A and B are shown apart, each in its own frame.
Chain A
Amino acid sequence: MIRNIFTTLQALVIPLIGMIVFIMLWSMAASNINTSLGKFPGPQAVLTQFSALYTEHKAERVKEKAFIQRQVERNAKRVAADPDYVPKMRAYTGKETFLDQIITSLVTVSCGFLLAALIAVPLGISIGLSKTLNTAFNPIIQIFKPVSPLAWLPLVTMVVSALYATPDPVVPKSFLNSMITVTLCCLWPMVINTSVGVASINIDLVNVSRVLRLPALKHVQKIVLPASIPMIFTGMRLSLGIAWMVLIAAEMLAQNPGLGKFVWDEFQNGSSDSLSRILAAVFVIGFIGFLLDQGMRQIQRLLSWDKSTASR
C-alpha cells in the first residue's frame, strides 16, 4: 500500500521537479544571454506572447466578420446594378493567425502522412512477401531513406509548378509542395518496417495458411496483416515523427503557410517580441509532436496484439 502511494508520488512528483528545475535553469540562463534583439526570452516573456498571440487571433476573427459583412453588402449592390452578375463569396484575405497556422500545419502533415501510408503499406507487404521484390527494391529504399527533406524540396517545387498549372487551383501549390515533401520523407520507415514485419511472420502461421489453401488475398487479409500490425505501427510512429519534423523545415524553406513560416517570418521581422514568439512556437511544435506520437501509440495499442512494442 505504502509502496503504491510511493510509486504514484514518484510518477507525479519527479517529472514536476524536473519541470521546475528546467524552468529555473531556463530563466537564469535567459537573463544572461544578450542578443542584438535584447535578452533571450524567459518563461514570463513566452507566456505573455502566448496570450498576445491569442488576442491577435480573436482580433483577426472580428475583422473577418466585418470583411464578410462588407462583401455581402458589396455583392448585393453589384447585383442590383448588374443583374447578370453571379455573386461569389471569397474567403477572408487577411493574415493567418498563429492558430490558423497550427491548423494548416496539422492538415498538411496528416495529408502527407496518409498519402505515404497508402503507398508504403501495400508496397511494404509486397516487398515482404516476395524475396525477389525485396532484393530489387532494397538498394533504392536504402538510398532514398537518408535523404533530407531540403534536398527534395526544390525538385518537388519545380515538378508541382510544371504539372499543376491550372488557372483556378482547388488546393494551393504551396500546400502540395509541403505535402509531397512530407510524403517522400516519411515513406521509407513505413516501407521498411512493414516489409520486415511481413517477412518475419511466424512460419507456423504461414503453414496454417498453406494447409487451408487460402487464396493470396485472403492470405494477406487473414494472416499477413494481423501478424505484422505491430511492426507496421512501429513504422508509422517513426514516420509520423519524421513527417512533423520535415514539415516544419519545408515550410520554413519554401515559405509555405504553417508553423515553419511563422517561425521564419518572426525571425525576419526582428522585432523585440520576435524571439519570444519563436520560442512560443517551438513549444507548440514540440507539444504537437508529442501529442501526435501519443495518438499513434494509442491507436497502436488498440489495434495491436503485441502489447510489448506499444508500451515504448
Chain B
Amino acid sequence: MSYARMRECTINRAYHLLIGLMLIAVSVISQTVYAEELGYPEKEELKFGFIKLTDMAPIAIAYENGYFEDEGLYVTIEAQANWKVLLDGVIDGQLDGAHMLAGQPLAATIGFGTKAHIITPFSMDLNGNGITVSNDIWQQMKEYIPKMEDGRPVHPIKADALKPVVEKYKENGKPFNMGMVFPVSTHNYELRYWLAAGGIHPGYYAPLKGDISGQIDADALLSVTPPPQMPATLEAGTIYGYCVGEPWNQQAVFKGIGVPVITDYEIWKNNPEKVFGITAEFAEKYPNTTVRLTRALIRAAMWLDENDNANRPAAVKILSQSNYVGADYDVIANSMTGTFEYEKGDKREVPDFNVFFRYNATYPYYSDAIWYLSQMRRWGQIAADKSDDWYKETAAEVYRPDIYTTAAKSLIAEGLAKAEDFPDFATESGFKPPQPEFIDGITFDGSKPNEYLEKFPIGLKQGDEV
C-alpha cells in the first residue's frame, strides 16, 4: 500500500470515527430530550366514570378547561348509577378510569368484594363529607349537646349525644338504621369512626363466614344507599341518618328533611377522600396515557384551589350542569365555597371543607392507604392479622406516587406548575408525619398500623377474629 493510499485510509477512518461519534452524541441528546418530553398517548379516546358528588370536580374541570385535550386525550365522562357499577365498569374495561372511593382500589386489590388489581396515581381531594341525621333524631339529640352563649350547639358534635337516642331505640327493640354509600367507602369508615368514638358500636364484618353486612354486635345498623338517593331514603324513614359526600348533606338542609351534625373535617382534619382509579393493566399498557391523564387532573386540581378558591364559583356553575352533579347552584355552592350549613340558618365557615390541591391533597400517600387498610382490619373486613410490612406492601401496590411524580415533574419542567406547590420529590417517603387531629384524639402513625389498632376501645385488635 502506498503512503498516499495509507494516508487516505487513515483520514477515511478518522472521518468514519467522527461520524460515528456524532451519531452517538445525537442519539444521546435525542434520548435525553425524549426522556424529558412525554411521548404521545397510546390510547387517545377514554371514558371516565363518576358518581354525582362535588368531589368529582377535578374530572369535570379537566374536561371543561380543556386540560385533557391539551394532553391529546379525548375523554367522555359518564355518570354511574352506584359505586358497584362504577367499579365493575373499570374492571371489565367499559370505563378506562373513574372517580373512586379511596377504599375501592385497596379492597379490590386485596380481594374484599370483586378482586382486581386497581391502582391510583392521583388522590382527588381532602374532606368533603358530612353526617346528617333526620329532624326527629336531631330533636332527640339536641338536649345532650352543649350550647354556646348564642344558643347554637357547640361544634364538633360528638356521637356521645347520639348514644342515649340509640339506646332508647335499642330498649324499645327498634333497630337504629343508618346509611352509608359503600362497604369500603370513606363514609363507612368515617361514620364508624364517629359512632365508635362516641361509644356506639357500628358492627363487625366477617367475610370468612360469609357475613358482609357488617352488623355483627352492632348498636347502629349501617347499610348501603347510593349517594343521590340518601335524602329520599332519609325522608322515607328507612334510615335515621347517613354519611355522604356533598351536595347530599346540604340538600337535606335545603329540603328541610335533616340536619348535618358534623363534617369529616372535624372527624379527621384533612382526611384523604376520593382517588382516581385505573387498572394496573391499563397503566402498564398505556404508560404515556396514564401520566398524561394524571397531568390533566393535577392541573384541574390546581385550578380549583387557585387564589384562595377564587375559581370555585365558576366550578360550581359547571358542576350544577345536569350532566355532572346536576343539583342546584346554591346547594353545591354552600359547601364548595368554604361554608357549611348545619341546622337551617346555622351557616359556619369551613374554608377547608373541600380541598382539591392545597396541603399536597393530590399526592397519593402510602400512609393514607394504610389508614384505610387499618380501618378495614378494625371492622373485620380484613379477617385476620396482618404484619406492618403487609400494610406497606399493599399500599405500595395500589398507591403509585411514582406516576404522580413523573406527571408533576413534567408539569414543572414545562412551567405549568411550580415546584414549591408539590412535596419535595427527592426526599418524600410517602408517609405523612403522625397525625393527631382526630375527633377522639388518637394519633395515627402510618408506619405502625398494628400499634394504631391497639389504641381503639371499640374495634378488632391483634389476635381478634369475629
The answer to whether B322 touches A270, judged by C-beta atoms less than 8 angstroms apart, is no
In the assembled complex, B328 has its CB within 8 A of some CB on chain A: yes
The answer to whether B40 touches A265, judged by C-beta atoms less than 8 angstroms apart, is no
With A and B bound together, what is the CA distance between A207 and B77 in angstroms?
64
| Interchain CB contact (< 8 A) of A161 among B92, B231, B320 | B92
**Chain B window 306-322, contacts with chain A (Cβ cutoff 8 Å), 1 for yes, 0 for no:** 00000000000000111
The answer to whether B322 touches A265, judged by C-beta atoms less than 8 angstroms apart, is yes
Q: Closest chain B residue to A267 by CB distance?
A: B228
With A and B bound together, what is the CA distance between A265 and B51 in angstroms?
11
The answer to whether A272 touches B328, judged by C-beta atoms less than 8 angstroms apart, is yes
Chain B residues with CB below 8 A from A293, complex form: none
The answer to whether A270 touches B251, judged by C-beta atoms less than 8 angstroms apart, is yes
Chain A residues with CB below 8 A from B256, complex form: 36
In the assembled complex, A294 has its CB within 8 A of some CB on chain B: no
The answer to whether A268 touches B40, judged by C-beta atoms less than 8 angstroms apart, is no
Given known A36-B255, A82-B40, A90-B45, contact A269–B52 (CB-CB < 8 A): yes
Chain A residues with CB below 8 A from B80, complex form: 255
The answer to whether B255 touches A271, judged by C-beta atoms less than 8 angstroms apart, is no
In the assembled complex, B12 has its CB within 8 A of some CB on chain A: no
With A and B bound together, what is the CA distance between A269 and B52 in angstroms?
8
Q: Min CB distance, A47 to chain B, in Å?
A: 18
The answer to whether B235 touches A78, judged by C-beta atoms less than 8 angstroms apart, is no
Q: Closest chain A residue to B79 by CB distance?
A: A265
Q: Min CB distance, B165 to chain A, in Å?
A: 24
| Interchain CB contact (< 8 A) of B322 among A36, A93, A269, A272 | A269
In the assembled complex, A37 has its CB within 8 A of some CB on chain B: yes
Given known A265-B322, A270-B231, contact A93–B74 (CB-CB < 8 A): yes
In the assembled complex, A70 has its CB within 8 A of some CB on chain B: yes
With A and B bound together, what is the CA distance between A274 and B331 in angstroms?
14
**Chain B window 56-76, contacts with chain A (Cβ cutoff 8 Å), 1 for yes, 0 for no:** 000000010010010010111
Chain A residues with CB below 8 A from B327, complex form: 269-271
Chain A residues with CB below 8 A from B79, complex form: 255, 265, 268
| Interchain CB contact (< 8 A) of B40 among A36, A78, A272 | A78
Chain B residues with CB below 8 A from A277, complex form: 322
Q: Closest chain B residue to A75 by CB distance?
A: B72
The answer to whether B94 touches A173, judged by C-beta atoms less than 8 angstroms apart, is yes
Q: Min CB distance, B214 to chain A, in Å?
A: 25
The answer to whether B320 touches A271, judged by C-beta atoms less than 8 angstroms apart, is yes
**Chain A window 56-81, contacts with chain B (Cβ cutoff 8 Å), 1 for yes, 0 for no:** 00000000000000110010001000
Query: In B21-60, which residues have CB < 8 Å from any A CB?
Result: 40, 44-45, 52
The answer to whether B40 touches A255, judged by C-beta atoms less than 8 angstroms apart, is no
In the assembled complex, B323 has its CB within 8 A of some CB on chain A: yes
Contact residues on A (Cβ < 8 Å of other chain), bracket: 20 to 34
Q: Closest chain A residue to B52 by CB distance?
A: A268
Q: Closest chain B residue to A66 by CB distance?
A: B66
With A and B bound together, what is the CA distance between A37 and B69 in angstroms?
37
Q: Min CB distance, B93 to chain A, in Å?
A: 8
With A and B bound together, what is the CA distance between A265 and B52 in angstroms?
10
The answer to whether B326 touches A266, judged by C-beta atoms less than 8 angstroms apart, is yes
Chain B residues with CB below 8 A from A88, complex form: 44
Chain A residues with CB below 8 A from B81, complex form: 255
With A and B bound together, what is the CA distance between A14 and B251 in angstroms?
45
**Chain A window 250-278, contacts with chain B (Cβ cutoff 8 Å), 1 for yes, 0 for no:** 00000100000000011011111010010
Q: Closest chain B residue to A161 by CB distance?
A: B92
Q: Closest chain B residue to A95 by CB distance?
A: B323
In the assembled complex, B325 has its CB within 8 A of some CB on chain A: yes
The answer to whether A271 touches B322, judged by C-beta atoms less than 8 angstroms apart, is yes
Q: Closest chain A residue to B332 by CB distance?
A: A271
Chain B residues with CB below 8 A from A255, complex form: 79-81, 85
Q: Closest chain B residue to A266 by CB distance?
A: B322
Query: In B141-176, which residues have CB < 8 Å from any A CB?
Result: none
In the assembled complex, B257 has its CB within 8 A of some CB on chain A: yes
Q: Closest chain B residue to A172 by CB distance?
A: B94
With A and B bound together, what is the CA distance between A90 and B45 in angstroms?
8
With A and B bound together, what is the CA distance between A250 and B367 in angstroms?
43
Residues of A within 8 A of B (CB): 36-37, 70-71, 74, 78, 82, 85, 88, 90, 93, 95, 161, 173, 255, 265-266, 268-272, 274, 277
Pull 6 A–B residue pairs with CB atoms less than 8 Å apart, ordered by A. Answer: A37-B255, A93-B75, A95-B321, A268-B228, A269-B322, A271-B322
7 closest A-B pairs (Cβ-Cβ)? A269-B326, A95-B323, A36-B255, A268-B228, A93-B76, A271-B328, A90-B74
Residues of B within 8 A of A (CB): 40, 44-45, 52, 63, 66, 69, 72, 74-77, 79-81, 85, 92, 94, 228-229, 231-232, 235, 251, 255-257, 320-323, 325-328, 331
